[in-house]
């Protein structure tokens, strides 16, 4: 029984000695070996033999790139605002011996160095620059940390600001400012849209008005041409019929009541030619026809027309009634003056016109002033002689 216990103890001792003698180091890992309390060597990846109870492993250092995140740190900006900043550090141990012997805890050292450097950098910037200058802050932090940790055998690869949290009141003010800026941009865009819409609407109305005006102008031209053709046809038809003055006067009287129709007609003007037309019709109805007649024959209102039908379209314009009346009055006045001259007695002849032979004067007197009938009265109507 005692032999078995001895053999078990001996086997356990052999295993412990084997563990302390043979050491397998993983890749990207460094073992700091001390011999009798002094630094001996640094073991890298592979299998190594140690002297039991003489060589001792001081530290196991990971040579891979490490990432460490520090809690938020209160930092004061140049405009006296306190902001909380979270930082993330990416570092690599390039010398395990110095990382173990130059500093007691390089993680804590990096954290404190980051806080002090961050306060120095942010203290020279205001809040707006702090929020918009992260790359600049990261570069300054990395340069300061890399220079300070170089003697510790540590290389700072990258520094990132994970979050920058201003005070709550400042956040509310920034939100209001951002909202106001958004509202301003929205108002500008809305105004631009309204402007473009108004311009397009005005252009459309302009083109529509131009098209409507062109259509109205063409319609007016076509309507005027149609009226002109209608008037010309009516005018030609009237001239082909050769109406007399009596027929025109009769039509004038028929159309005259239509001028006075309507409730709004408070006053209407009778042309001066109406009296002439009435006088002419009155003369025709009172005895202007054939002797012994009591009215007007239908033949008086119709012009028999020219004998040659080829000359029907020769006249294309009627004579102006006013001009015809003026000519009739002039001819009547001239006939009256001639009648007065013929009725002048011989005693009113000037002496220069009397012949020298006194015995011949009585014989010539009856020849110079023959007796003539009185001049007919002058008519002002359309029946006046032309």
- Determine the pLDDT at residue 323: 67
Please report the pLDDT score of residue 71 as a whole number.
87
66-166 has CATH 3.30.479.30 classification:
yes
Looking at residue 206, its pLDDT comes to 92
Q: By C-alpha distance, which of 317, 322, 293 is closest to 384?
A: 322
For residue 92, the model assigns a pLDDT of: 92
Token pair recorded at residue 319: 């004579």
pLDDT of residue 213: 92
Partners of 91 in the beta sheet? 66, 156
* pLDDT of 315: 42
Domain range list for the chain: 2-62, 66-166, 242-259+268-306+314-332
Residue 201 has what pLDDT?
93
Scanning the structure block, which residue is given the tokens 């000695």? Answer: 17
Per-residue pLDDT 10s for the chain (386 aa) are 778 888 888 888 878 777 778 888 889 899 998 888 888 888 888 888 888 888 888 889 999 999 998 888 888 888 888 889 888 999 999 999 999 998 888 888 888 888 888 888 888 888 888 888 888 888 888 888 888 888 899 998 888 888 888 888 888 888 888 899 999 999 999 999 999 999 999 999 999 999 999 999 889 888 888 888 888 888 788 778 777 777 767 777 777 677 667 666 666 566 655 666 666 656 655 544 444 444 444 444 444 444 444 444 344 444 455 565 666 667 666 766 766 665 444 444 444 444 444 444 344 434 444 444 444 443 444 444 43
Q: How far apart are CA 16 and CA 52, in angstroms?
A: 9
For tokens 């009798």, name the residue: 36
């Amino acid at each position: 029984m005692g032999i078995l216990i001895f053999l078990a103890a001996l086997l356990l001792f052999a295993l412990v000695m084997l563990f302390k003698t043979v050491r397998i180091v993983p890749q990207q890992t460094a073992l700091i070996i001390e011999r009798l309390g002094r630094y001996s060597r640094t073991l890298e990846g592979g299998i190594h033999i140690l002297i039991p109870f003489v060589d001792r492993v001081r530290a196991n250092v990971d040579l891979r790139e490490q990432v460490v995140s520090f809690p938020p740190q209160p930092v004061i900006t140049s405009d006296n605002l306190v902001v909380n900043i979270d930082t993330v550090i990416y570092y690599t141990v390039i010398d395990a011996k110095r990382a173990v012997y130059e500093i007691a805890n390089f993680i804590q050292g990096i954290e404190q160095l980051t806080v002090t450097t961050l306060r120095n950098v942010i203290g020279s910037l205001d809040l707006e620059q702090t929020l918009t200058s992260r790359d600049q802050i990261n570069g300054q932090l990395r340069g300061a940390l890399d220079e300070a940790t170089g003697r510790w055998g540590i290389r700072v690869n990258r520094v990132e600001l994970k979050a920058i949290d201003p005070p709550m009141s400042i956040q509310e003010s920034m939100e209001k400012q951002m909202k106001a800026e958004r509202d301003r941009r929205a108002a500008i865009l809305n105004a631009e849209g309204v402007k473009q819409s108004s311009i397009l609407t005005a252009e459309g109305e302009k083109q529509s008005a131009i098209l409507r005006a062109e259509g109205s102008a063409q319609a007016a031209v076509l309507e005027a041409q149609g009226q002109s053709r209608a008037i010309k046809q009516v005018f030609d038809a009237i001239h082909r019929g050769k109406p007399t003055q009596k027929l025109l006067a009769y039509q004038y009287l028929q159309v005259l009541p239509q001028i006075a129709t309507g409730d709004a007609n408070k006053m209407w003007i009778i042309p001066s030619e109406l009296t002439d037309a009435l006088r002419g019709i009155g003369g025709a109805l009172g005895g202007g026809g054939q002797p012994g007649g009591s009215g007007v024959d239908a033949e008086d209102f119709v012009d028999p027309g020219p004998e040659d039908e080829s000359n029907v379209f020769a006249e294309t314009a009627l004579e102006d009634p006013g001009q015809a009346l003026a000519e009739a009055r002039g001819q009547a006045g001239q006939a009256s003056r001639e009648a007065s001259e013929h009725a002048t007695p011989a005693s009113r002849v000037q002496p220069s016109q009397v012949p020298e032979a006194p015995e011949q004067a009585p014989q010539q007197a009856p020849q110079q002033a023959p007796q003539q009938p009185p001049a007919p009265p002058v008519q002002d109507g359309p029946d006046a002689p032309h």
